[in-house]
Amino acid sequence: MVSKTRGVTGEPEDPNGASAPRRRIVTALLGGGVLGSLAAFAYPVLRYLVPPPVVDLGGDEVVAGKVGDIKPSGSKIFRFGTRPALLLMTADGEYRALSAVCTHLGCTVQYRSDLHEIWCACHNGMYDLNGRNISGPPPRPLEAFQVHVRGGEIVVSRKREA
Ligand code: FES
């Protein structure tokens, strides 16, 4: 039969010499370490799965460039308010302007002329040339803008709700 000895505080000691309060402290520290590790893994996964809220772009109209700046199947990034936007010319010579902020986690998208699609390099998200999210993690389409050519300038403005 194993006899239990008592420590200074009257708590029973185990054969290795650790008292019950000490064991509780070690258990709590280990438990806290495990919870901290789980949180460190869970937070990035949650940030990946839950996209940030849509942020207003600011200004209503901006000159994105001059006619002739981009050729068919070409593109450029320009500032629309405080955020980047994408101006592209389709192979048919039509201008399109979209927000360049990926709706997943906010990376800047780019036009892939080889695929005729808009691509987000961060997590391989794909949008069509109308900004619709077609594959990968993006949960929403890109905001599409109106494009006008005025006096040799390419003017991009927000679409007005009718
Ligand atoms: S930020 Fe994840 S796909 Fe664009």
pLDDT: which is higher, 56 or 24: 24
The domain limits of the chain are: 17-52, 61-158
**Nearest alpha-carbon partner for 156 in 81, 54, 71, 101:** 81
Please say whether the beta carbons of 100 and 87 come within 8 A.
no
Which residue type does 11 have?
E
**Cβ-contact 99, 141 below 8 angstroms:** no
The mean pLDDT value for 79-93 works out to 92
Q: What is the spatial distance between Cα 15 and Cα 138, in angstroms, rounded to a whole number?
A: 58
pLDDT at residue 11 tops 80: no
Q: How is residue 14 annotated by DSSP?
A: P
CA of residue 107 to ligand 1 center, whole Å: 6
* Backbone φ and ψ of 17, nearest 5°: 100, 0
pTM over 0.85? The answer is no
Confidence at residue 159, expressed as pLDDT on a 0 to 100 scale = 78
For range 3-21, the mean pLDDT: 59
Closest residue to atom 1 of ligand 1, CA basis: 105
Q: Which fold has domain 61-158?
A: Rieske Iron-sulfur Protein (2.102.10)
Question: pLDDT per residue over 35-70, tens digit each?
Answer: 999 999 999 888 888 877 655 545 688 999 999 999
Six-digit token string for 74: 């070409």
Give the model's pLDDT for residue 14. Answer: 58
Give 107's DSSP letter.
Answer: P
**What integer pLDDT is reported at residue 49 of this predicted model?**
83
pLDDT digits (tens, 9 = 90+) for 98-144: 999 999 999 999 999 999 999 999 999 999 999 999 999 999 999 99
Alpha-carbon Rg of the chain, whole angstroms? Answer: 29
Question: From the CA of 106, how far away is ligand 1's center (Å)?
Answer: 7
